[in-house]
């Protein structure tokens, strides 16, 4: 099942974890061109991601990064936001602990 995130531009998430009963969840997310999280959010989680294809601009705390295929990131309860500033989709494997979706 693919779920479209409302209010975030065009972001599509597919649950890769078999269920949400473990300590983490894994998602395959596709950020369409121009997709953007306008307001930074913080969650009581640890999150890691791996960029499969495309580019993603990611702000974590006071730092910002332009990530591309093969790059990874970690967010530990910090404020973050993201944007796909390109004209191509960006695909990311995203692992969140504990599960939030």
pLDDT in tens, the chain (101 residues): 555 554 456 889 888 988 888 899 999 999 999 999 989 999 999 999 999 999 999 999 999 999 999 999 999 999 999 999 999 999 999 999 999 87
Pairing, β 80-83 against β 63-68: unpaired
* Per-residue tokens: 25: 């969840």
Give the pLDDT score at 6: 46
Give the pLDDT score at 8: 53
C-alpha dihedral, 41 to 14 to 20 to 37, nearest 10°: 0
Please tell me whether the overall predicted TM-score, pTM, comes out greater than 0.85 for this model: yes
Distance (Å, whole) CA 24 – CA 9: 25
């Amino acid at each position: 099942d693919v779920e479209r995130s409302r209010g975030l531009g065009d972001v599509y998430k597919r649950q890769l974890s078999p269920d949400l009963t473990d300590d983490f969840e894994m998602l395959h997310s596709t950020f369409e061109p121009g997709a953007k999280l306008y307001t930074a959010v913080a969650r009581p989680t640890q999150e890691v991601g791996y960029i499969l294809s495309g580019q993603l601009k990611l702000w974590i705390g006071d730092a910002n990064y332009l990530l591309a295929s093969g790059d990874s990131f970690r967010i530990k309860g910090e404020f973050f936001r993201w944007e796909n500033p390109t004209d191509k989709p960006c695909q990311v494997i995203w692992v969140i602990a504990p599960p939030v979706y």
